[in-house]
Structures are given as C-alpha cells and as structure tokens.
C-alpha cells in the first residue's frame, strides 16, 4: 500500500490532458473528464486540456507545445493506444521521449490484468520523459484512466510518497543540459 509522509507539505504539479479521438468533443469526453476530475480532486492543477484527432503530426505538435511550456510538469494522453489502424498515440509520442519509463507500462499492465485479465494485452500504454516533462499515454476508457491515475500516477506525482516519487526528482530531469 502506498505510504505518505504527512509531515511533508504537498507540492501540486501542473498537468495537461490530451484526449486522442476522431469522435470525441469536450462535451462527451468521459476519459478526459475523468482525468481532469481526479487531478483536481488530488490537489494538482489542470494546466491545459485539448482533443486531437488520431493524427501523428497533430498529436506530436500538441505534446511538443506542452513540453516546451515550462509551466507544465506532466502530460497525460488518453486514447489511441490500441492496435486499430487509427491508434497512433505511441507512434506520435514515443519519438519525443529522451528516456522511456518502462516500469509505467509494466505496472499498468499488472494492475489492468487484475481487472480485465488478458485483454490488457491490447493496450500500448507507455510513459517517458522529454525536456523535463513527464509524459504518460493511457488507453481511452474512463476505467483505464482511473486505474492509471489511482494506482500509479496519484502516488508518483505526490511528493510525500515514500520511498520515492517522480516529483522529488523533477529538478534533476534536465541536469544533463546544464554546464
């Protein structure tokens, strides 16, 4: 079970949410709504939110814009991680990664397996770091967004989580560029 050091003050992070879909709008984007609600409920700031079609250049351009914005700490995408011909989120985002967070995908699949069993194999959820920004790509269902947030990201994006978390190493993500 996750452990929090309640003696440490909470540090909110700024998170942008991108829904990748050919059919969704902000009015019926249940996965984006789910993430936005969870982010706010856990004390973080929704820095921006958008919807892009399943189009590699459009997805990549949006994520690159957010990576370049030094006020955005984390980008979470939802949708486009399956195997159909239009599912291109990993192809759009992975080339931006300077480092892949392999454990995110592995842990997401472990959690997902407990709920949907072998159907988890149909997801290409992934995570990485680019120019000091964390990026996580989740499947497009509200349930998968809840699993990714409640079981992984909620804890790793809380600086009080022990023994370690993503927030406390954020200042060091770009140390290779200094000097």
pLDDT value, residue 80: 94
DSSP state of 39: H
pLDDT value, residue 177: 80
Residue 126 falls inside a structural domain: yes
pLDDT value, residue 17: 98
**Total structural domains in the chain?**
1
**Mean per-residue pLDDT of the chain:** 96
Residue 1 falls inside a structural domain: no
* Average pLDDT for 135-161: 97
Tens of pLDDT, residue by residue over 104-141, are 999 999 999 999 999 999 999 999 999 999 999 999 99
pTM more than 0.85? yes
Residue 147 falls inside a structural domain: yes
pLDDT value, residue 75: 98
Residue 4 falls inside a structural domain: no
Tens of pLDDT, residue by residue over 80-96, are 999 999 999 999 999 99
Cα gap 127→123, rounded to integer Å: 13
* Average pLDDT for 165-177: 93
* Average pLDDT for 148-173: 96
**151 with 106: CB under 8 angstroms?**
no
pLDDT above 70 as % of the chain: 98
Query: Which CATH number characterizes residue 23's domain?
Result: 3.40.980.10
Both tokens assigned to 32: 């984006």
Q: Say how many C-beta atoms besides its own lie within 10 A of residue 84's C-beta.
A: 9
pLDDT band at 176; cut points 50, 70, 90: confident
Residue 179 falls inside a structural domain: no
Q: Say how many C-beta atoms besides its own lie within 10 A of residue 128's C-beta.
A: 22
Residue 175 falls inside a structural domain: no
Q: Is the pLDDT of residue 167 over 80?
A: yes
Q: Is the pLDDT of residue 1 over 90?
A: no
What is the residue range of 92's domain? 10-162
pLDDT value, residue 178: 75
Residue 178 falls inside a structural domain: no
Residue 117 falls inside a structural domain: yes
């Amino acid at each position: 079970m996750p452990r929090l050091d309640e003696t440490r003050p909470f540090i909110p992070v700024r998170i942008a949410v991108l829904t990748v879909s050919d059919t969704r709008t902000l009015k019926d984007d249940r996965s984006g709504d789910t993430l936005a609600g969870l982010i706010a409920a856990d004390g973080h700031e929704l820095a921006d939110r958008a919807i892009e079609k399943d189009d590699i250049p459009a997805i990549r351009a949006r994520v690159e814009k957010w990576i370049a914005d030094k006020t955005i700490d984390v980008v979470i995408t939802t949708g486009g991680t399956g195997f159909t011909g239009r599912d291109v989120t990993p192809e759009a985002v992975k080339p931006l990664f300077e480092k892949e967070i392999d454990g995110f995908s592995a842990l997401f699949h472990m959690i997902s397996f407990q709920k949907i069993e072998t159907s988890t194999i149909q997801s290409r959820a992934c995570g990485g770091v680019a120019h000091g920004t964390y990026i996580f790509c989740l499947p497009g269902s509200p349930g998968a967004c809840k699993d990714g947030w409640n079981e992984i990201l909620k804890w790793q994006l809380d600086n009080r989580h022990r023994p370690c978390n993503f927030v406390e190493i954020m200042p060091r993500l770009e140390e290779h560029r200094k000097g």
